[in-house]
Chains A and B, each alone.
Chain A
Amino acid sequence: MAINGKGVVLIGGGADDEVSLLEILDHVLNAGVVIHGSIVISLGGVDLVYLGLNVILTSVETALRHLNQAALPPETPFRSRR
């Protein structure tokens, strides 16, 4: 299955395609039917986990952004000519 419109990127959708970890986490965690096991992480506990993970993922994202910016600082003549 493919969409040919410009600007659409299909992720997954076919058995051979891999979706990114972010996509999987977005769909799999904090979703799904709640059936309480004898032991199950309390919902509050899950939110704490998210908080921690968001910090990790956000810092990865921020680090990447900084790397990009360091490679191309906004004040360089190269950038301002573009």
Chain B
Amino acid sequence: MAPNVKVKKEKRGATKSDPASSAIYLYGVTRDARALPANTKGVDAVSKVETVPCSGFVCWISRVNRAEYSDQLQQNMENLEWLASASVAHHRVVGAIATLAEILPARFGTVFLNEKSLLEDVQRRKKSLTKAFDRISGTEEWGVKVFANEAPAPPTVTAKSGKDYLLKKSAALEAGRERKPDPELESFAKALGQVAVDEVRGGKFSGAQRDLQFQASYLIPRKQREKFHAVLKQYARKWSDSHRIEYAGPWPPYSFVSDGH
């Protein structure tokens, strides 16, 4: 717990509105305030979504249960069921805001103990937030995946013993991972990159999907959307027998607002 925050002793039967038992969950920052539909529910499916003026920006927050979202956040994130519903709810809120205003989405699980610490942090980051707004202005994020239509069947492993089997199996898997760069995929990536302002390769969670050969997120100027789709269409036609292209969007610019940018 941060040293600058005094935590009052929790009273019995303390409610969510009690500052000692609630925390502030941040969805993101916009330049101006807008009105979301009044029935929009927060990350916990219960709380309201509120706006707080923050050093000339607007912070979008919910007041959530402190134990669930701060003390036990890490354990909860390891619980796929909890994480699934919270991350989908987070995305719904960010997506709803994004239809109204350009938003810098906050990292999932950004939680403050009180408004003061939120305001202080935003104030400290004013410069980098302004830069991030300039970067994403007029853009949207698209995710692209390429799958092989048919993967070669894995070689059959014959072995004398269980240990022998595992060793051979692991060697075979290792060999399967060493994929040579496919020039076709490279030219596809290059063509998409030419339409995009920025790109990020890979994805942490889809990596295990079967036959996935390529995955990237692109930051596309809204005006270039048609051009971007035209490239996808062109390669889909070219690859109709060998590959399947999946794409998803538009997303709020999740992948392009972190400090590395």
Contacts and interface: CB of A to CB of B under 8 A. Distances in A.
Given A7-B243, A32-B106, A39 B233 contact: no
Given A19-B248, A33-B105, A52 B240 contact: no
B245 A8 contact: yes
A5 B154 CA distance: 30
Interface stretch (B44-52, B159-167, B185-193, B207-215): B207-215
A36 B121 contact: yes
Contacts of B248: 10-13, 19, 23
B110 to A, nearest CB: 5
A56 interface: yes
Interface string B67-82: 0001101100110100
B21 interface: no
Contacts of B97: none
A52 to B, nearest CB: 5
Contact of B204 (A9, A30, A32): A30
B129 to A, nearest CB: 7
Contacts of A39: 1-2, 23, 70-71, 73, 111-113
Interface residues of B, number: 78
A40 B246 CA distance: 33
B153 interface: yes
A53 B80 contact: yes
A70 interface: no
**For chain B, what secondary structure do more than half of its interface residues adopt (helix, strand, loop), or is it mixed?**
mixed
Contact of B229 (A3, A34, A52): A3
Contact of B29 (A19, A26, A29, A33): A33
A9 B236 CA distance: 10
Interface in A1-52: 1, 3-13, 19, 21-41, 45-46, 49-50, 52
B79 to A, nearest CB: 10
B55 to A, nearest CB: 12
A65 B154 CA distance: 11
Interface size class of A (residues with CB under 8 A): 35 or more
Contacts of A8: 232-233, 236, 244-247
A10 B77 contact: no
B243 to A, nearest CB: 7
Interface of B: 1-2, 4-5, 23-24, 26, 28-29, 70-71, 73-74, 77-78, 80, 83-84, 87-88, 90-91, 94, 104-114, 117-118, 121-122, 125, 129, 132, 141, 143, 153-154, 156, 203-210, 215, 217, 229, 232-234, 236-237, 239-240, 243-251, 254-255, 257-259
16 contacts: A5-B240, A6-B236, A6-B240, A7-B239, A8-B247, A9-B245, A27-B143, A29-B108, A32-B106, A32-B108, A35-B26, A35-B107, A37-B110, A39-B111, A50-B205, A53-B78
The 10 closest A-B pairs by CB, nearest first: A5-B236, A31-B254, A26-B203, A5-B233, A32-B107, A37-B112, A38-B113, A11-B248, A6-B240, A38-B2
